Amino acid sequence: MSDRVALIVAILLVCAVAYDVFFNDAMSIVFLARKGTNLIEWIAFWR
C-alpha cells in the first residue's frame, strides 16, 4: 500500500468516525465494539 492510499484510507476512517460521533451519538462505534468483543470471545472459545 502506498503512502497516498494509506492517507486516503485514514482520512476516510476519520471522517466516518467523526460523522458517527456528531450525527449518531457514536452508536455505530459502540455497536461495532460490542460485536468485536463477542467475536473475540467466540474465537477464543474455539481455540
Question: Does the structure show a pLDDT above 90 at 37?
Answer: yes
Tell me how far apart the 2 most distant CA atoms of the chain are, in Å.
Answer: 39
- Quick: pLDDT tens for 38-47: 999 999 987 7
- Quick: pLDDT tens for 8-35: 999 999 999 999 999 999 999 999 999 9
List b or e across 23-46, with b for residues whose CB sees 16 or more CB atoms inside 10 angstroms. Answer: eeeeeeeeeeeeeeeeeeeeeeee
